[in-house]
């Protein structure tokens, strides 16, 4: 108790020195909070935007499909599979898809497209594809297996073929039974211009129509799944793999599906760690400097304390206790400054003059988020770094010789 009283007295006796120390902690905390908020929260927004845009958090494919996609690498989308997905509480929604490369024709104009068969109703529930419409409408939802020959085309395809709403496009491709697939589809929607270049060549038709066109009745190439949280993707994919217990199927999290994007994100996060280390050094050096100055100013005081019987260990404990109290008070106050600094980044974000590319996906802005790591981690780090550097002046004070110290003015 006596040590606490002495520590509090020393903190408030030198208000200016204590204020400088507190300011270095507050600045360090705030910078660290903003950095973590942008890194964790910002990337959380990017991941959600990326995965909810098309990929989903988890996907089911035939084994090796991700490494070497192919028309014949399909599987049965049956009631048993659907029920297994519905029974897993972590799964929020899911949607089946078919993929195939085809040639699209309008008069003498032709181009290669990525044809995707989707279930309009399930796709609306799972991804934001329907929100990417630039003109026209989304594919009509139907419960029958005879949907209209409706097609949504990418902005790039529309430019090449000079297509517009109502245009008829002839598709030619290879069917799964070895025959030539061909049919005429009517353009009912055109996707708006996307920053993601892969969207420009995508064309969507109804899942049932794709199965008919490609002779894949009852079969699909993938099932995209959305979870309550993207952070559960790895655990849920392992759990679902065990539930399906089918060696021919592979359940993959978004980290594997979009490996380039994930690795780019991890590399950028590694760069942020350098910034965190610099901030920790700034906080540590600031505290070390002010505490060392305090030791020099109080050398005579420590000499007197030693002369009247105070042990070196108690002197060191007083200095460390002062740092603990001051850093805790400053870090607690810093929570408010952290909230104020993060608020505009959460609400308005940081706009880029030129879109930023991460794994082939372009983003025009990055936003922070209210993640607990942005407030808890800086709190622990600044206090720990302040206490750690306080051991240096504490040891210096322990080694003060009473006779020399008392002579100091």
Spatial distance between the Cα atoms of 318 and 312, rounded to a whole number of angstroms = 10
pLDDT at 8: 64
Spatial distance between the Cα atoms of 126 and 147, rounded to a whole number of angstroms = 21
Place of tokens 């105070």: 310
Residues 316-345: pLDDT tens digits? 787 778 778 888 888 888 889 888 988 888
Which range among 14-18, 174-178, 227-231 shows the weakest confidence by mean pLDDT? 14-18
Tokens found for residue 244: 């399906």
pLDDT at 362: 60
The closest alpha carbon to 97, from 188, 248, 224, 183, belongs to 224
Residue 404: pLDDT band with limits 50, 70, 90: low
* 39, pLDDT greater than 80: no
Residue 194 dihedral angles phi and psi, to the nearest 5°: -110, 150
pLDDT at 226: 93
pLDDT at 274: 75
Residues 81-129: pLDDT tens digits? 899 899 888 899 999 999 999 999 998 889 999 999 999 999 999 988 8
Residue 172 dihedral angles phi and psi, to the nearest 5°: -130, 130
CB 141 within 8 A of CB 62: no
pLDDT at 348: 80
- The pTM (predicted TM-score) of the whole model is 0.73
Residues 200-213: pLDDT tens digits? 788 999 999 999 99
Spatial distance between the Cα atoms of 386 and 383, rounded to a whole number of angstroms = 5
**Angle at Cα 266 formed by Cα 50 and Cα 235, nearest 5°?**
70
- Where is pLDDT greater, at 409 or 240? 240
Percentage of the residues of the chain whose pLDDT score is greater than 90: 22
Tokens found for residue 310: 């105070």
Residue 11: pLDDT band with limits 50, 70, 90: low
List beta partners, residue 220.
75
Place of tokens 């505290």: 287
**Angle at Cα 35 formed by Cα 234 and Cα 235, nearest 5°?**
5
pLDDT at 292: 66
């Amino acid at each position: 108790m006596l040590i606490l009283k002495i520590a509090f007295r020393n903190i408030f006796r030198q208000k200016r020195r204590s204020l400088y120390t507190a300011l270095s902690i507050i600045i360090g905390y705030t910078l660290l909070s903003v950095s973590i908020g942008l890194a964790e929260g910002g990337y959380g927004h990017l991941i959600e935007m990326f995965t909810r845009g098309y990929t989903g958090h988890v996907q089911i494919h035939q084994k090796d499909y991700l490494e070497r996609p192919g028309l014949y690498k399909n599987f049965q989308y049956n009631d048993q599979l659907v029920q297994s997905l519905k029974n897993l509480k972590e799964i929020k929604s899911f949607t089946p898809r078919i993929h195939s490369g085809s040639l699209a024709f309008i008069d003498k104009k032709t181009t290669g497209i990525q044809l995707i068969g989707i279930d309009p109703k399930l796709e609306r529930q799972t991804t934001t594809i329907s929100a990417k419409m630039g003109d026209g409408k989304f594919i009509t939802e139907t419960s029958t297996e005879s949907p209209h020959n409706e097609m949504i085309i990418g902005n790039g395809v529309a430019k090449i073929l000079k297509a517009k709403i109502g245009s008829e496009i002839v598709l030619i491709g290879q069917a799964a039974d070895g025959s030539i697939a061909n049919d005429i589809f009517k353009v009912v929607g055109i996707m708006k211009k996307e920053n993601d270049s892969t969207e420009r060549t995508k064309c969507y038709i109804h899942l049932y129509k794709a199965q008919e066109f490609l002779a894949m009745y009852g079969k699909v190439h993938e099932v995209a799944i959305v979870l309550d949280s993207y952070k559960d993707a790895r655990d849920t994919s392992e759990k679902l793999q065990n539930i399906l217990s089918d060696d021919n199927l592979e359940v993959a999290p978004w980290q594997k599906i979009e490996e380039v994007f994930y690795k780019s994100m991890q590399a950028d996060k590694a760069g942020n760690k350098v910034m965190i280390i610099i901030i920790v050094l700034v906080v540590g050096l600031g505290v070390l400097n002010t505490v060392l100055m305090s030791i020099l100013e109080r050398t005579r005081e420590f000499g007197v304390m030693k002369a009247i019987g105070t042990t070196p260990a108690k002197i060191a404990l007083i200095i460390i206790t002062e740092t603990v109290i001051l850093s805790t008070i400053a870090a607690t106050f810093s929570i408010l400054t952290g909230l104020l600094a993060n608020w505009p980044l959460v609400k308005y974000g940081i706009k880029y003059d030129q879109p930023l590319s991460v794994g082939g996906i372009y983003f025009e802005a990055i936003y922070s988020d209210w993640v607990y790591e942005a407030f808890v981690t800086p709190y622990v780090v600044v206090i720990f770094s302040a206490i750690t550097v306080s051991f240096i002046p504490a040891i210096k004070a322990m080694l003060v010789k009473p006779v020399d110290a008392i002579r100091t003015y």
